[in-house]
Structure 1
Amino acid sequence: MKTIKNAVLTSLLALGAAAPAFAQESKKESEFQLLLGGALELGGDNIATVYFTNGEDQKVNAGQGGSIAVGGQLKLANAPRFLLRTTVGFKYLTTQADNVHIRLTRIPFITTANWMVAPKLRIGAGLSAHTGIRFKTGGIGDDMKFKGAVGPILEIAYSGIGLSYTAMKYTDTEKNTYSANAIGITISGVVRPKKK
């Protein structure tokens, strides 16, 4: 867990520190921009099943959930088609239960290297690290905790809307493993600084 946090913090610090360093080495300045994003993802193994009084049930899958994220994007002056992106977010999945708050939450850190194939077409690959992985039953069952997890992530996006695939495994405190592989629809955009 500490290794994941240290790796992610190092990535964030390196990304932030790299912007002024690259700007000094080139006549044309590198751009560091605020990056905002989100995703809706599906997939993964069933970690729990919620049964309702009407006879229906709902599975809670490890890779499923919606997320929001904030971070930074660095566009290098000497390689304008190459982008470095780092975000930290919150991923959340709940159930249809209306009398109890059942949810699966995690904090994803994502760092990717990206290439602009065309002005609006981007492909990226990197690592996704999930920490704080918790399944809360709202008191009707046993809560579950999982160890931090790291896995590769791939993305292709056009004009800010993309498809992603993450390969990952969650391990609970009893050492049971669950696939948290997920395919998702992503949305992202940068806050461009005002021109002086």
Structure 2
Amino acid sequence: MLSPALLTEYKTQLFSHLNPMKKLLLIPVLLVVALSTAFAQTSSDSTVTKPYLPVRFLVGASFEFGGDKVAEVQFTNGESQSIPAGQGVSIHAGGQFQFPKLDKFLLRATVGFKYVTTQADNAHIRLSRIPLHLTANFMATDKIRLGAGLASHQSITFKTDGIGQDFELKGSTGAIFEVAYSFIGVSYTAMTYKDKYSNSYSANNIGITFSGVFPK
């Protein structure tokens, strides 16, 4: 079994260096490594009958790509970097709920933090949001999971670290779909952001997801 200790981005002129804040991206990577180890340890024993637990702790991470450009940064060397509405790395936690005598049907609810930054070294420019997910899931086999439900993004904020104009986008709700094998999956989220002038930005994205429940 997994030891508990294992779970322990408006244009502006900027210098083009690597951003130290990218070190934050190591958080979901480390989480993925932990989850991979956990499933590697538990999947080898297929003879043990899983006990019925109505609620399990759920943790996960995702890498998502896509969406319209909501901002762009121009560097002093002539290069630029755009910030897509749907892009970012996220970590999330919540619960998985199972109903009596319906072991193939699961309900998952999570809250997380989604974040994307730029290559700027002298400013912490980022787009962040709080994603809330509620999905119904069907276990087609012991390892293949099909999920669909609602995704809501709140506190959608773009900050320039004082060198440009910050702005916020309105909270939005859309649909999310996922196909997963064991702890790894592929997701699609359909969502639209709007600014205070009612301009729309597609936040549709495709993601690679990682998740695990505890106790097993």
Instruction: Name the TM-score, length of structure 1 as normaliser.
Output: 0.82
SS for the counterpart of 2:121 is coil
User: Match for 2:170 among 147, 155, 160?
Assistant: 147
* Whole-Å separation in 2 of the counterparts to 1:113 and 1:30: 17
Report the counterpart of residue 190 of structure 1 in structure 2: 213
2:133 is aligned to 110
The partner residue of 2:111 within 88, 93, 99 is 88
What is the aligned partner in structure 2 of residue 178 from structure 1? 201
Q: Deviations over 1:108-150 (max 9, x none)?
A: 0000000001100000000000000000111222111111100
Aligned residues with identical type, % of pairs: 57
Written as runs of structure 1 = structure 2, the 5 A alignment for 1:22-33 is 30-33=53-56
State the 1:94 CA deviation. Answer: 0.3
Give structure 1 stretches of 5+ with no counterpart. Answer: 1-27
| Residue matched to 1:101 | 124
Q: For the aligned residues, what is the CA RMSD?
A: 1.2
2:76 aligned partner? 53
CA displacement at 1:158 relative to structure 2: 0.3
Runs of 4+ in 1 over 6 A off after TM superposition: none
Aligned to 1:163: 186
SS in 1 for 2:134: strand
Gaps of 5+ in 2: 1-50
- Tell me if the contact between 1:30 and 1:77 (Cα under 8 Å) persists in the aligned partners: no
Partner in structure 2 of residue 35 of structure 1: 58
TM-score normalised by length of structure 2: 0.75
* Shift of residue 29, structure 1, vs aligned partner: 5.1
The aligned length equals 166
Structure 1 residues 42-73: Cα deviation after superposition (integer angstroms, max 9, x where no partner): 00000111111121111100000000000000
The one-letter code sitting in structure 1 at the alignment partner of 2:59 is L
* Aligned counterpart, 2:20: none
- The amino acid across from 1:141 in the alignment is G
C-alpha spacing 1:29/1:118, structure 2 compared with 1 (3 Å): closer
Partner of 1:5: none
Alignment-mate amino acid for residue 121 of structure 1: I
Secondary structure at the counterpart of residue 69 of structure 1: strand
SS of residue in 2 equivalent to 1:142: coil
Contact 1:46 1:59 in 2 (8 A): yes
Instruction: State how far apart, in whole Å, the 1-side matches of 2:53 and 2:101 are.
Output: 8
